[in-house]
């Protein structure tokens, strides 16, 4: 009897110890000043990867992180809308209200630097790069995109390419179509498709960035990489006759799009190509992830790819990165997440699903299909240019105006108005 009583007391005492230990943990979870390596916490990841073709990579990343770090929990705070259409506004409100998420998706280049680093909202991550020996694990050009005045401010998880056209292979084969390389060839192919009763080019510009992305690629084709960069560095004016030429060519491309473009988003436009209703799509290679994943299409069997006309020597970079906002409660937990995000394992889990290539140079190529290995080669060998539509080439203020101007141009086709609006907005770049 006595022994039983003794064991009972022991059990109650042990339970009390466990409960009190749990109490300590929950305190750190709510972020009560425990910012120095607590063994329990929540990392809130803010992004716009919510839907088809977007979410799979993120969820795989979160699962792997939680599996490897069972003392941390992830809160997935994604806000729907391609290219951050809605997320960026929500983020701006939270940042202004001093309520930053633990970490947030942000494009390398001006979106990171002009919107957040210059405003003193981000912590530098040079120590993290040093601790993880990352200096030569990410390409120098990429580190430059996430650096400001000599310090590094975010960790890139992917590299997307923006200047590829994805096409329906069956349509091209049945119509005996060769890959167009120049704008003239592109328009010939488009005429041929139109005569055959097929929509040549799919567009879903319910969110206007998709049209801006086509326009930036036409600009790249007309100007070449060097002058494209000069344009966004303010060294070439928007009323340069080549920009007028690009606007005209862009307008001509719009003669070949689906009528219901304004009611479709990027996924809906990709579906037109998947279903054989349209032949080609120019969007980032997240569309490739969508074709493979959600739509079950096979690369180089069901769909093929080629660069936008006259951009074969170029690679339009879109890189999603995550940083450490100032003023969060548990920076050490977030650094654990960022360390994970920069690992080869995380990058090789995320990118094959997302359609992108890893930001790291030492990825496991066997995890990627032919599109992925082609993109890795091209990233090393082509001229790299930052995307306007995805926040790297110019400030958010300029991009908002450019998106609006392009959106109006899609319906009105007034070259002069487009050029004038861009020229007037240029000082904001």
Residue closer to ligand GAL (CB basis): 54 or 314: 54
For every residue of 394-417, DSSP letters joined together read: S-HHHHHHHHHHHHHHHHH--HHH
Residue closer to ligand GAL (CB basis): 194 or 407: 407
424: how many CB neighbours lie within 10 A of its CB?
12
83 is a site residue for ligand GAL (CB under 6 A): yes
CA separation for the pair 295, 393 (Å, rounded)? 31
**Taking the complex as a whole, how short is the minimal distance between the CB of residue 84 and ligand GAL, in angstroms?**
6
Nearest residue (beta carbon) to ligand GAL: 82
**Taking the complex as a whole, how short is the minimal distance between the CB of residue 396 and ligand GAL, in angstroms?**
12
Residue closer to ligand GAL (CB basis): 54 or 336: 54
Residue closer to ligand GAL (CB basis): 78 or 198: 78
**Window 165 to 194, contacts with ligand GAL (CB under 6 A):** none
Residue closer to ligand GAL (CB basis): 58 or 405: 58
CA separation for the pair 107, 66 (Å, rounded)? 24
**Window 35 to 54, contacts with ligand GAL (CB under 6 A):** 48-49, 54
284 is a site residue for ligand GAL (CB under 6 A): yes
What is the end-to-end Cα distance of the chain in Å, rounded?
83
**Window 377 to 396, contacts with ligand GAL (CB under 6 A):** 390
**Taking the complex as a whole, how short is the minimal distance between the CB of residue 298 and ligand GAL, in angstroms?**
22
Residue closer to ligand GAL (CB basis): 54 or 310: 54
The pattern of x and - marking residues 220 through 259 that bind ligand GAL according to CB under 6 A reads: ----------------------------------------
Tell which one of 38, 78, 82, 203 touches ligand GAL (CB under 6 A). Answer: 82
329 is a site residue for ligand GAL (CB under 6 A): no
What b/e readout covers 98-127, taking b as 16+ CB neighbours within 10 angstroms? eebbbbbbbbbbbbbbbbbbeeebbbbbee
User: Which residues contact residue 381 at a Cβ distance below 8 angstroms, ignoring those fewer than 6 apart?
Assistant: none
For every residue of 136-189, DSSP letters joined together read: TTS-HHHHHHTEETTEE-EEE-EEEE-SEEEEEHHHHHHTTPPPP-SHHHHHHH
**Taking the complex as a whole, how short is the minimal distance between the CB of residue 287 and ligand GAL, in angstroms?**
9
Cα angle 108-251-317, degrees, rounded to a multiple of 5: 15
Strand partners, 147: 152
- Joined together, the tokens standing for residue 236 give 């070439």
Site size for ligand GAL (CB under 6 A): 12
Contact 308, 163 (CB under 8 A): yes
Cα angle 13-17-19, degrees, rounded to a multiple of 5: 115
Tell which one of 34, 44, 314, 320 touches ligand GAL (CB under 6 A). Answer: 320
161 is a site residue for ligand GAL (CB under 6 A): no
**Taking the complex as a whole, how short is the minimal distance between the CB of residue 103 and ligand GAL, in angstroms?**
15
CA separation for the pair 11, 8 (Å, rounded)? 5
Residue closer to ligand GAL (CB basis): 278 or 287: 287
> Phi and psi dihedrals of 230, rounded to 5?
-65, -40
- Joined together, the tokens standing for residue 33 give 């000043």
Q: Do strands 103-107 and 41-47 pair parallel, antiparallel, or not at all (unpaired)?
A: parallel
**Taking the complex as a whole, how short is the minimal distance between the CB of residue 345 and ligand GAL, in angstroms?**
20
User: Which residues contact residue 370 at a Cβ distance below 8 angstroms, ignoring those fewer than 6 apart?
Assistant: 299, 300
Of the candidate spans 80-88, 112-120, 170-178, 222-230, the one that interacts with ligand GAL by CB under 6 A turns out to be 80-88
160 is a site residue for ligand GAL (CB under 6 A): yes
Q: Which residue, 64, 91, 100, 158, is CA-closest to 376?
A: 158
Residue closer to ligand GAL (CB basis): 72 or 219: 219
**Taking the complex as a whole, how short is the minimal distance between the CB of residue 160 and ligand GAL, in angstroms?**
6
Task: By CB under 6 A, name the binding residues for ligand GAL.
Answer: 48-49, 54, 82-84, 160, 284, 286, 318, 320, 390
């Amino acid at each position: 009897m006595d022994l039983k009583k003794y064991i009972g007391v022991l059990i109650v005492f042990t339970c009390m110890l466990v409960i009190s230990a749990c109490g300590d943990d929950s305190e750190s979870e709510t972020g009560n000043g425990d910012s120095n390596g607590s063994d329990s916490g929540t990392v809130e990841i803010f992004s716009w990867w919510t839907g088809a073709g977007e979410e799979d990579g993120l969820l795989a990343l979160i699962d792997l992180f939680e599996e490897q770090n069972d003392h941390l929990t992830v809160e997935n705070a994604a806000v729907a809308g391609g290219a951050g259409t809605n997320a960026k506004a929500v983020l701006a409100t939270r940042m202004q209200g001093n309520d930053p998420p633990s970490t947030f998706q942000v494009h390398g280049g001006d979106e990171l630097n002009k919107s957040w680093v210059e405003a003193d909202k981000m912590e530098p991550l040079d120590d993290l790069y040093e601790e993880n020996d990352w200096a030569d694990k990410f390409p120098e050009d990429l580190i430059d995109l996430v650096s400001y005045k000599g310090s590094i401010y975010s960790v890139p998880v992917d590299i997307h390419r923006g200047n590829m056209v994805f096409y329906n292979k069956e349509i091209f084969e049945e119509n005996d179509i060769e890959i167009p390389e120049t704008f003239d060839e592109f328009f010939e192919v488009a005429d041929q498709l139109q005569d055959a009763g097929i929509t040549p080019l799919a567009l879903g510009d319910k969110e206007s960035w998709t049209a801006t992305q086509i326009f930036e690629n036409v600009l790249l084709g007309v100007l070449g990489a060097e002058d494209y960069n000069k344009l966004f560095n303010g060294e070439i004016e928007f009323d340069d006759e080549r920009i007028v030429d690009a606007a005209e060519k862009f307008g001509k491309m719009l003669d070949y799009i689906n009528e219901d473009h304004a009611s479709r988003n990027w996924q809906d436009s990709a579906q037109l190509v998947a279903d054989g209703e349209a032949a080609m799509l120019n969007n980032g290679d997240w569309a490739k992830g969508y074709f493979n994943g959600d739509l079950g299409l096979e690369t180089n069997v069901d769909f093929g790819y080629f660069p936008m006309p006259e951009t074969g020597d170029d690679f339009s970079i879109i890189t999603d990165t995550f940083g450490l906002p100032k003023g969060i409660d548990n920076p050490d937990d977030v650094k654990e997440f960022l360390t994970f995000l920069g690992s080869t394992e995380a990058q090789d889990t995320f990118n094959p699903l997302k359609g992108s290539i890893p930001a790291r140079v030492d990825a496991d190529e066997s995890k990627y299909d032919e599109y992925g290995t082609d993109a890795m080669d091209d990233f090393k060998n082509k001229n790299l240019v930052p995307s306007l539509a995805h926040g790297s080439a110019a400030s958010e203020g300029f991009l908002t105006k450019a998106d609006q101007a392009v959106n109006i141009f899609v319906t009105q086709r007034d070259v002069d108005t487009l050029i004038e609006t861009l020229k007037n907005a240029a000082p904001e770049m």
